[in-house]
Amino acid sequence: MRNVGVLSRLMPDEYVRSIYEIDLDGLWNRGKRLILTDLDNTLVPWNHPQVPEELADWLQMAHARGFHVCIVSNNGEARVEAFARASGLPAVAGARKPKSAGFRAALERFQLPADAAVMVGDQLFTDIQGANRLGMYTILVLPLDPQEWWGTKVVRMAERVALMMLYGRGLKRPHMVSDGRSKDGR
């Protein structure tokens, strides 16, 4: 069934509430050396210019552990470069995820193969699908803020359907509350 292939391409290896729940030691022990991360709604709310202290601390921890961290964002050059400067992170802007070129540019920059990389992001159809196709380890996070670009809101509806199907195939919700739904309803 064609559906099965599409779904497995959307299946993240992990689903956690936020980057702060990522098991850095576990990733390191699996041979991961490069953390590629989406920007908007993964590291900070959409178009948010500042680097929160909690994020700065987390980045410091990841770097201290030995990881390279690089932003791979579909947002435009001006937005991404400003945040890259503020955070001190390298970045690929206008990445056009799920297309491969942006991911590949990031891998090339660090001279690492896809299986040494992790992709972290809040969107199934861009972050997870694109990175899965290249054989990266993928971590889905809950979006930080419901405030989003209108195009993303439309995609979220399809994403909810895909998530329901992925739950059916064994994906674990990141945080269960008593009614069996995740905190934000996903």
The residues that touch Mg ion, with contacts defined as CB under 5 A, are 38, 40-41, 122
Closer residue to Mg ion, CB minimum distance, 38 or 159: 38
Residue 123 CB, shortest distance to Mg ion, in Å, is 5
Residue at 149: amino acid letter: W
Cβ closest to Mg ion, residue 115 vs residue 184: 184
Q: How far is the CB of 127 from Mg ion (least distance, A)?
A: 7
- Residue 86 or residue 177: which is nearer to Mg ion going by CB? 86
Q: Name the H helices within the chain.
A: 2-10, 24-29, 53-65, 77-87, 100-110, 129-133, 150-168
> Which whole-number Å values give the CA distances from 180 to 13, 21, 81, 142, 173, in the listed order?
21, 20, 40, 16, 9
Residue 38: count of CB within 10 angstroms of its CB:
26
Closer of 41 and 129 to Mg ion (Cβ): 41
Q: How far is the CB of 122 from Mg ion (least distance, A)?
A: 4
The C-alpha atoms of residue 88 and residue 167 are separated, in whole angstroms, by: 37
| Least gap, CB of 141 to Mg ion (angstroms) | 9
